[in-house]
Amino acid sequence: MRANRRSDTKPELALRRALHKQGYRYRKDFRIDLIGARVRPDIAFTARRVAVFVDGCFWHCCPEHGTKPAANTWYWGPKLARNVERDRAADAALAAAGWGVVRIWEHESLEGAVGVVVAALAATALAKTALAKTALAKTRLAGQGPLPGQGLADAESETAPGTSRPTRAIG
């Protein structure tokens, strides 16, 4: 079992190449320390808090292609069950910490896998934008920020802080 790779498997490398080609930047095999758990996704988008796992059909008991070994079932049965339990525990810990989790089987097409990851990244970007708009609206209601018709130049003094460059009033 020493030859089985923990990271940089062929399906993972193909997915990483395709994502990088589309301009996405990520961390590979990045350790995420959570309360009560430590998780290492294959691909981590830390700014958007999305963890991507590329699971092998045998090791993670794929419902379509996962096979059960006929020899040494006393060893392989509990081992594979522990792998699946560990996957579910990692998913729950990441979700509780606010991370999105994407699990991709190694037999899935590259285009489909890239589409799933891009959709998850887009969903987190939309959620982040909606959250920022809500926070901005709350600060405006509390009177802590510029009003909707008021530009930043109107709210500040005549010079930008830390520079000698004058600011121009808008409108």
pTM: 0.73
- Look at the block and give the residue holding tokens 């799933």: 116
Residue reference for tokens 């062929």: 10
Per-residue pLDDT of the chain (171 residues; tens, 9 = 90+): 666 777 888 999 999 999 999 999 999 999 999 988 899 999 999 999 999 999 989 889 888 887 888 899 999 999 999 999 999 999 999 999 999 999 999 999 999 999 999 999 998 877 777 766 777 666 666 666 555 555 544 444 444 555 555 555 554
Q: Both tokens of residue 144?
A: 């802590």
Q: Which CATH superfamily is domain 10-113 in?
A: VSR Endonuclease (3.40.960.10)
Tokens of 125: 């970007």
Q: Where do the domains of the chain lie?
A: 10-113
Q: How far apart are the first and last CA of the chain?
A: 70
Do 108 and 18 contact (CB within 8 A), yes or no?
no
59 and 83 in contact (C-beta within 8 Å)?
Answer: yes
